[in-house]
Chain A
Amino acid sequence: MANEPRLVEVRRNVLKRNDVVARALRENFREAGVTVVSLVSSPGSGKTAFLEKTLTLLQPRYRVAALVGDLATENDALRLARSGAKVSQITTGTLCHLEAEMVRGAVETWNLRELDFLFLENVGNLVCPSSYDLGEELRLVLLSVTEGEDKPLKYPTIFNSADVAVITKTDLAAAVEFDWPAAAANIQRVRPGMRVIQVSAKTGEGMDQWLAFLEALRTPAQTRA
């Protein structure tokens, strides 16, 4: 005789385990006074070049470090280490995104108090990283001018999950006839009020504005709720 199934009500976030680790990380980071910024983008958008430039420019005045997620190679970590910053690689294998547990494992033996800024470079992917909180204070989404101005509309979820949009490779904008007003409008459509920063890691254009933004974030961020 078949019993009627009983309906048991539950409320469980599927990614609770990740969220718990991410929350603990965020607390640790704040307590240690390190500002943590993560970067997401599609492959080839210039994340590593942008980060290398950022680390190099911050290095004289701040203690900086980076964690780099990559599927298989260590090329990005080697490039970033040229800046003189502390750099560690997280090889994700076939996994297409970083999870909070990987970040926790990577910084486990670090003394976070010795750092002012920590950057988390996610795997190049505009889909999967959006689901995972890494404990960062700020999430950047990068968009290179060569990718086209409709990227925000194709990947609204990741743009909506990020705090700041960084438009990279601006030195190529004229060559590819990048439509600035359309890009700005598309970003605002998927994330109203989103801050947009324009940079060229190659020429250095816009980097001062970006650094000023980062530095301003640092002092008040510690008391942010």
Chain B
Amino acid sequence: MHELSIALSLIDTVEEEAERHSGRVSAIHLKLGPLSGVVAEALVSAFEMAREGTTLAGARLVIEEMPVVVYCSTCQARQPVASIQWFCCPVCDTPAAEVVQGKELEVVALEMEDGE
């Protein structure tokens, strides 16, 4: 369980970013891939604990879970894997080591509200 460490990093990151804009952060949009090693539910719980007493106390965390996508050299195309326990092309079954998506742990947008 390292989601609390991640939640603290998330709060630092968002507070830093929010300083550049006026208003209050009401929601944080995060892209999360399974290969980041972070579990969405655990991160939400950790965030809800960690946000208390910060400027993000009223902010929601909205997570978009990203599927793992690999590059298949046979199909010469990006393909989503059927399972993260099997890195192969779902179309032709070629093993695919090149991960093009699925490692994300990235803040992509903030919802800002005017007010105190």
**B-contacting residues of A (Cβ < 8 Å)?**
3, 5-18, 95-97, 99, 127-128, 130-131, 153, 156-158, 160-161, 188-193
The residues of A that contact B108 with a CB separation of less than 8 Å are: 9-11
CB distance from A207 to the nearest CB of B (A): 27
Given A95-B5, A127-B37, A128-B2, A14:B112 Cβ within 8 A: no
CB distance from B110 to the nearest CB of A (A): 5
Given A5-B26, A17-B12, A157-B34, A12:B84 Cβ within 8 A: no
The residues of B that contact A97 with a CB separation of less than 8 Å are: 2, 5
Report yes or no: B111 in contact with A160, Cβ–Cβ below 8 A.
no
* In the assembled complex, B55 has its CB within 8 A of some CB on chain A: no
CB distance from A95 to the nearest CB of B (A): 7
Given A10-B108, A131-B6, A157:B1 Cβ within 8 A: no
Given A10-B109, A12-B106, A3:B115 Cβ within 8 A: yes
Q: Which residue from chain A places its CB closest to the CB of B16 in the assembled complex?
A: A12
Given A161-B35, A190-B85, A12:B97 Cβ within 8 A: no
CB distance from B21 to the nearest CB of A (A): 6
Other contacts beyond A14-B30, A96-B2, A131-B37: 19, CB < 8 A: A3-B113, A6-B111, A6-B112, A6-B113, A10-B107, A10-B110, A12-B107, A14-B6, A14-B13, A14-B105, A14-B106, A17-B12, A99-B5, A131-B2, A153-B85, A190-B84, A190-B87, A192-B87, A192-B95
* In the assembled complex, B99 has its CB within 8 A of some CB on chain A: yes
Residues of chain B in range 43-90 having any CB-CB distance to chain A below 8 Å: 84-88
Report yes or no: B111 in contact with A7, Cβ–Cβ below 8 A.
yes
- SS of B interface (majority): mixed
- A-contact 0/1 string along B8-27, CB 8 Å cutoff: 01101110010001010011
- SS of A interface (majority): mixed
* In the assembled complex, B40 has its CB within 8 A of some CB on chain A: no
Q: Which residue from chain A places its CB closest to the CB of B34 in the assembled complex?
A: A157
Q: Which residue from chain B places its CB closest to the CB of A125 in the assembled complex?
A: B2
CB distance from B5 to the nearest CB of A (A): 7
Report yes or no: B113 in contact with A8, Cβ–Cβ below 8 A.
no
Q: Give bound CA distance, A190 to B6, whole Å.
A: 24
Could you write out 6 A-B pairs with CB less than 8 Å apart?
Answer: A12-B13, A12-B107, A95-B2, A99-B5, A153-B85, A189-B85
**Which of A127, A158, A160, A189 has the most chain B CB within a 10 Å cutoff?**
A160
Q: Which residue from chain A places its CB closest to the CB of B87 in the assembled complex?
A: A192
User: Contacting A156 at CB < 8 Å: which of B17, B30, B84?
Assistant: B84
